[in-house]
A and B are shown apart, each in its own frame.
Chain A
Amino acid sequence: MVSTARPGTFGSTRASGPYAIYAMALGLTSGLAAVVLVISTLFAIGDDARDSLVMVLIAAVLAAHAGYQARRPFEARSMKPVPTFAAVTLCYIYLAALSTVVYLATGSFDRFDDAVYESVTGVSTSSLTVLEDPAVLTRGVLIWRSGTQWLGGLGALALSVAIFPFVGGSREMADPRQRGARRMALAPRPVPALKRVGVLYGVVSLLVTIAFLIVGMSLPDAVAHMMSSVSTGGFSTHSDSIAHFDSVAVEIVTIVVMAGAGFSLALAWMLLRGLFHDTLRVFELRVYALVLVATSAWVFWLQGRGEAISPQSTTDRIIDSVFTTVSLSTTTGHRTVDWGTWGPGAEMALVVLFVIGGMAGSVAGGFKWVRVVGLAQFVWRELMRQLHPRAVRSVKVGGSTISERSVDNWHSQLVLSTFAAGGGAMLLAFFGSEIIEAFTLAFSAVSTTGPAIANDGTILVTAADVSRIDRVVLTPLMLMGRLAIYPALVLVGVVWFGAERRIAGARWRRAGRRS
């Protein structure tokens, strides 16, 4: 449906051109945000009239924007890396800004900086909220707050499953256009892949809501926790998170949902197509499952050895261990228990888990297990190369060869995220945090988890205990972490080089006029 309007006139529907991708991406974001806002409004209607009015108005504006963009068809014939990444980053910033507007307009937050921080925490699916007790918010706003995480999770999925594999950069999965990789891919081209991501995410969300309802949550709680669980966000409507429900059934369902969120969407698609054997043969899956089981057992054991043995039954302790392990390893941040009393061994293991995060192609943040496995294979090859200097070997993860370029990028990702987190930790320490607190806060932000550990071993679960200036440091870290570093750096680069070119161009023109 290509419009015939001449380019350059008002209402032009130019589909190509350098800014088309930005417009398309922002329009899509507006549309999705409008949907979530409408859902929030439905919950707000019986609760707070002002909230409902504000949300409906904002939703209408967003819907109009989305509708306007939808009229301009977009051909994704060539997704160039730089504009694509910049557009994704822009979407996240746009969404955070939008959420800030919602918070301020509904009067949920008095302070601008609190609203911004909470928005960024939401869209980056981190869980270190500024609210000590989320129940102070109205029902509609609570749903929107979890909704920002849902949107952030969707964006992250789209990025890792439908954008990175085609565009490059911080690729976790093989390019589906290559032979051999097609089987594992969601779709052979970006746009169908994006659509499939949306459909799968929506279906899973619906199923999870129903599951939560069945185990006895109220409808608002079910929707809010669904949104913050499938996206590995971790916001809750209660200050004591999942422990509030005090129900083993809720805990088990949450464990399953979170583990599923840390599971690769591409693999889920393979399962849906009935390729059970192929799925089970994926090496990363085996490693991830093994790590979850082993760490749960390890944490359970350490917890038993700790001084503060809780008076709970063994069953409760097993469930708590599994819940905490899964919650942190998928970078979610839901909690049933104060794991700060489990001793340094358990805490350290959990920190390492959340720094690594979930599987490639999942909504979880962190470094991803495929990269860990790949780098371990790379190290093994280096060892073998010491023994056999002339041998030619490739890096393989469970039978499939990883290109040298990917290994390069994975290592760079390791260095960049370590630098981002280390630099952040340095800044946090500069503003007065203790060392361990600074490091865990920074790493937790980069892996979009949320909770951190204070120097005395207790855990921080709300940003109320973190100073305002520290929150300013954490904000860009969370965004960078959610975007797997590269796109964020690309946007910085685009702005930088764009400004540079503008300045150079102006200088050139001025020089031309003078002569």
Chain B
Amino acid sequence: MKRLSGIAAIAAKLPRLSPSALSALSALAPRLVGSGEEAEGLNFVPASRKRVAPTIHVVGLSLLFLLPGLAISLLIEWGSTSSHDEGALALAMGIALVAGMACWAPTTTGTQIRTSSVFSAVAFSWIACSLVGAVPYAAGSMFDWAHFDDALFEAVSGFSATGSTVLADIEANGKGILMWRQITQFYGGMGMVVLAVTVLPLLGVGGLALMSAEAPGTTSDRLAPRVSETARNLWKLYLGITAVVALALWASPGPGLYDSVAHALTTASTGGFSTWNASVGHYDSWLVETIIVIGLFLCGMNFTLHHRALGGDVKSYIRSSDTRIYVVLTVIAIATATIVNWAVELRDTTGAVMQVTFLGSLRDAIFNVVTLGSSGGFGNARGPDSLGNFVLWAPQLQIMLLLAMVVGGSVGSTAGGAKVFRAVVAVKHAIRSVRRIRHPHAVMPIKLGDQAVSTDIVQRVIGFLTTFLFITVVGALLVTATGAPILESVSASISAMSNMGPALGEAGPTSNFLVFSRPARLVLTALMMIGRLELFAVLLMFATPTSSVRGWANRRRRAKARAGL
């Protein structure tokens, strides 16, 4: 009965919604989540007067897509009895609606989209969404406007599916606001731009580029002939996994409907936000942890494989060497963590020796290795002195966890990090250069499974990893400069870049990022965004604006010259 009370409360309040707002919502909603053809039919500005500005168009569309999530949160907040931040959520909805329409309606993407526009479209969409997503936090009771940077941290941590938090007490906030926090991760896991592509008219190659610029991984395979169809399939799959996890959690003893949905949203997106201070450790339940672990593990795999498997081709998992390595690495890491934690004498925060049983060690190893390997970042610690708090683990295991963070999940999944594929290619590339000393003229392709990886992709992988390293080092330098200790700074930079969540030391899974100063948190905010968009989109986001401004200046100069003549 308790489960349904929330819904009942919402239902009881529904008639109080002003009729005009309801009709406006219902008028917008079906069109926005409908298919591309319908969206095309929604013309506020005649097509002839629309300007071709793909970046602005996609930004507007992404903002509009925030509306359903905000609306759901608003309803929940309204239905809950504990807090009343409806105003804040409504304000955010207003901003999203007005700004979104202003960007989207008078513009069009045109029939083709330039490569440079792809990056700026993606990056600016994410920045716009994060800014709007931070409004409910700042306008509500969570933070003051003076701490908008904290609100932004929380929003970026959400949209980038990272899961780091600056909330000292999560449970003190309203249910609706917390649900919005979970929903931001859900949006971020698959990506707002992928969502936008579902309704964009056929963009040709540019559409796929848009998706792959945002989707984690080096390639995004086509699941369907049309790009929007592919995007739609991905989102359906994503929704499906979320629904299954939510149902499984609901069916298990412990979490109610609200919490089941909330945790399912952040499991599918490998985000790691929770509605509880103790995260998943709140339930102290094998079953809940197992469901979340399975969900995270599946979402750390390539979604294309899931799509194929649903179509009957289950063997595609085994055929994919990427997945094989991901599974093997995870199993090795779990085994190592289990044995070492069981064998080594560990001390808790008070310095007392911890009693570790083998099964207990196995349980915490499985949960933490999977949650860090798939860039989830949930915690299962039952209090700061339990084994689930991995900052108490043996130091060599913590180094292994850092490595797991960097490597992350498979290509084409919702996981962050550098990805198994890239790590394997980099190692094979390094080994090849040593073998080349012996055989300077041999042609040695780099193989993954039995497929040779093309030189082009190898170079891109190298470029990615080197950039990843450069940015992480610069981030760590800046964070340490604010006075944070080295261990925390380096691990937090790695964690932010690979969209993990918790870091080591004081910033561990039972703590929060308030241990860092405000400037340090701003640096980490930037790192999370860069990491989620796989570096290039953020680094190249100014390419289109620059060329636009330059083009405009050139035109003006030419016009002036003509006038002068």
Contact with A along B481-492 (1 / 0, CB 8 A): 111111101100
Q: How far is the CB of A386 from chain B (nearest CB, A)?
A: 5
Does B543 have its Cβ within 8 Å of any Cβ on chain A?
A: yes
Q: Which of A383-412 contact B (CB under 8 A)?
A: 383, 385-389, 408-409, 411-412
Contact with A along B401-417 (1 / 0, CB 8 A): 00100000000000000
Q: How far is the CB of A319 from chain B (nearest CB, A)?
A: 22
Interface residues on A, range: 35 or more
| CA of A408 to CA of B490, assembled, Å | 27
Q: How far is the CB of A103 from chain B (nearest CB, A)?
A: 32
| CA of A344 to CA of B478, assembled, Å | 10
Across-interface contacts of A434 in B (CB, < 8 A): 395
Q: B340: nearest residue on chain A (CB-CB)? A: A430
Main secondary structure of the interface of A (DSSP, over half): helix
Contact with B along A465-508 (1 / 0, CB 8 A): 00000000000000000000010011001000000000000000
Across-interface contacts of B466 in A (CB, < 8 A): 375, 378-379, 411, 414
Does B115 have its Cβ within 8 Å of any Cβ on chain A?
A: yes
| CA of A426 to CA of B395, assembled, Å | 8
Does A451 have its Cβ within 8 Å of any Cβ on chain B?
A: no
Interface residues on B, range: 35 or more
A486 and B399 contacting across the interface, CB-CB below 8 Å: no
Q: Which of A303-347 contact B (CB under 8 A)?
A: 305, 343-345, 347
Q: How far is the CB of A377 from chain B (nearest CB, A)?
A: 11
A457 and B486 contacting across the interface, CB-CB below 8 Å: yes
- A411 and B462 in contact (CB under 8 A), knowing A389-B115, A435-B487? yes
B116 and A378 contacting across the interface, CB-CB below 8 Å: no
Contacting A457 at CB < 8 Å: which of B400, B482, B485? B485
| CA of A455 to CA of B403, assembled, Å | 19
Of B223-231, B371-379, B424-432, the one with at least 4 CB within 8 A of chain A: B424-432
B398 and A382 contacting across the interface, CB-CB below 8 Å: no
Contacting B115 at CB < 8 Å: which of A386, A408, A433, A436? A386
- A435 and B119 in contact (CB under 8 A), knowing A347-B480, A416-B434? no
A435 and B536 contacting across the interface, CB-CB below 8 Å: no
A493 and B426 contacting across the interface, CB-CB below 8 Å: no
Does A73 have its Cβ within 8 Å of any Cβ on chain B?
A: no
Of B138-146, B161-169, B254-262, B469-477, the one with at least 4 CB within 8 A of chain A: B469-477
- A345 and B482 in contact (CB under 8 A), knowing A379-B466, A383-B540? yes
| CA of A54 to CA of B488, assembled, Å | 52
| CA of A451 to CA of B188, assembled, Å | 43
Contacting B403 at CB < 8 Å: which of A82, A344, A422, A489? A422
A344 and B543 contacting across the interface, CB-CB below 8 Å: no
| CA of A16 to CA of B466, assembled, Å | 43
Contacting A426 at CB < 8 Å: which of B116, B400, B489, B543? B400
B429 and A383 contacting across the interface, CB-CB below 8 Å: no
Across-interface contacts of A302 in B (CB, < 8 A): 481
- A408 and B429 in contact (CB under 8 A), knowing A426-B399, A455-B487? yes
Contacting B480 at CB < 8 Å: which of A81, A348, A411, A490? A348
Across-interface contacts of B438 in A (CB, < 8 A): 81-82, 490, 493
Across-interface contacts of A439 in B (CB, < 8 A): 399
Across-interface contacts of B467 in A (CB, < 8 A): 379, 382
Q: B118: nearest residue on chain A (CB-CB)? A: A386
| CA of A290 to CA of B462, assembled, Å | 27
Does A90 have its Cβ within 8 Å of any Cβ on chain B?
A: no
| CA of A422 to CA of B423, assembled, Å | 14
Does A283 have its Cβ within 8 Å of any Cβ on chain B?
A: no
B480 and A412 contacting across the interface, CB-CB below 8 Å: no
| CA of A432 to CA of B347, assembled, Å | 13
Does B460 have its Cβ within 8 Å of any Cβ on chain A?
A: yes
Q: How far is the CB of A469 from chain B (nearest CB, A)?
A: 13
Does B396 have its Cβ within 8 Å of any Cβ on chain A?
A: yes
Across-interface contacts of A433 in B (CB, < 8 A): 395
Across-interface contacts of B473 in A (CB, < 8 A): 352
B477 and A412 contacting across the interface, CB-CB below 8 Å: no
Does B433 have its Cβ within 8 Å of any Cβ on chain A?
A: yes
Q: How far is the CB of B463 from chain A (nearest CB, A)?
A: 3
Does B311 have its Cβ within 8 Å of any Cβ on chain A?
A: no
B400 and A489 contacting across the interface, CB-CB below 8 Å: no
Does B440 have its Cβ within 8 Å of any Cβ on chain A?
A: yes
- A352 and B463 in contact (CB under 8 A), knowing A453-B486, A455-B487, A490-B437? no
Contacting A486 at CB < 8 Å: which of B432, B434, B464, B480? B434
| CA of A387 to CA of B481, assembled, Å | 34
B116 and A348 contacting across the interface, CB-CB below 8 Å: no
A168 and B486 contacting across the interface, CB-CB below 8 Å: no
Contact with B along A148-175 (1 / 0, CB 8 A): 0000000000000000000011000000
Q: How far is the CB of A190 from chain B (nearest CB, A)?
A: 16
Main secondary structure of the interface of B (DSSP, over half): helix
A435 and B440 contacting across the interface, CB-CB below 8 Å: no
B536 and A383 contacting across the interface, CB-CB below 8 Å: yes
B115 and A429 contacting across the interface, CB-CB below 8 Å: no
Does B497 have its Cβ within 8 Å of any Cβ on chain A?
A: no
B486 and A436 contacting across the interface, CB-CB below 8 Å: yes
Does A415 have its Cβ within 8 Å of any Cβ on chain B?
A: yes
Across-interface contacts of B469 in A (CB, < 8 A): 414
Does B394 have its Cβ within 8 Å of any Cβ on chain A?
A: yes
Does A276 have its Cβ within 8 Å of any Cβ on chain B?
A: no
Q: How far is the CB of A492 from chain B (nearest CB, A)?
A: 10
Q: B403: nearest residue on chain A (CB-CB)? A: A422
B470 and A379 contacting across the interface, CB-CB below 8 Å: yes
Q: Which of B517-564 contact A (CB under 8 A)?
A: 536, 539-540, 543
A429 and B437 contacting across the interface, CB-CB below 8 Å: no
| CA of A173 to CA of B259, assembled, Å | 60
B399 and A348 contacting across the interface, CB-CB below 8 Å: no
B426 and A415 contacting across the interface, CB-CB below 8 Å: yes
A411 and B437 contacting across the interface, CB-CB below 8 Å: no
| CA of A389 to CA of B540, assembled, Å | 14
Contacting B437 at CB < 8 Å: which of A408, A415, A486? A486
Does A289 have its Cβ within 8 Å of any Cβ on chain B?
A: no
B480 and A408 contacting across the interface, CB-CB below 8 Å: no
Does A85 have its Cβ within 8 Å of any Cβ on chain B?
A: yes
Contacting B396 at CB < 8 Å: which of A344, A348, A412, A429? A429
Across-interface contacts of A427 in B (CB, < 8 A): 396
Across-interface contacts of B395 in A (CB, < 8 A): 429, 432-435, 438
Does A349 have its Cβ within 8 Å of any Cβ on chain B?
A: yes
Contact with B along A346-385 (1 / 0, CB 8 A): 0111011000000000000000000000011011011101
Across-interface contacts of B429 in A (CB, < 8 A): 408, 411-412, 415
Q: How far is the CB of A416 from chain B (nearest CB, A)?
A: 5
Does A88 have its Cβ within 8 Å of any Cβ on chain B?
A: no
Does B290 have its Cβ within 8 Å of any Cβ on chain A?
A: no
B427 and A382 contacting across the interface, CB-CB below 8 Å: no
- A81 and B540 in contact (CB under 8 A), knowing A344-B484, A349-B477, A422-B403? no
Interface centre among B429, B434, B483, B536 (most CB of A within 10 A): B434
Does B111 have its Cβ within 8 Å of any Cβ on chain A?
A: no
| CA of A351 to CA of B116, assembled, Å | 37
Does B459 have its Cβ within 8 Å of any Cβ on chain A?
A: yes
B396 and A352 contacting across the interface, CB-CB below 8 Å: no
Does B264 have its Cβ within 8 Å of any Cβ on chain A?
A: no
Does A419 have its Cβ within 8 Å of any Cβ on chain B?
A: yes
Interface centre among A169, A343, A376, A415 (most CB of B within 10 A): A415
Across-interface contacts of A386 in B (CB, < 8 A): 115, 119, 536, 540
Q: 6 tightest CB-CB pairs across the interface, nearest first? A: A382-B463, A412-B433, A345-B481, A348-B480, A429-B396, A429-B395
9 A-B pairs with C-beta separation under 8 A: A82-B438, A168-B437, A344-B486, A347-B486, A382-B467, A412-B430, A422-B399, A426-B396, A434-B395
Question: Interface of B with A (CB < 8 Å)?
Answer: 115-116, 119, 394-396, 398-400, 403, 426-427, 429-430, 432-434, 437-438, 440, 459-460, 462-464, 466-467, 469-470, 473, 476-477, 480-487, 489-490, 504, 536, 539-540, 543
Question: Interface of A with B (CB < 8 Å)?
Answer: 81-82, 85, 168-169, 298, 302, 305, 343-345, 347-349, 351-352, 375-376, 378-379, 381-383, 385-389, 408-409, 411-416, 419, 422, 425-427, 429-430, 432-436, 438-439, 453, 455, 457, 486, 489-490, 493
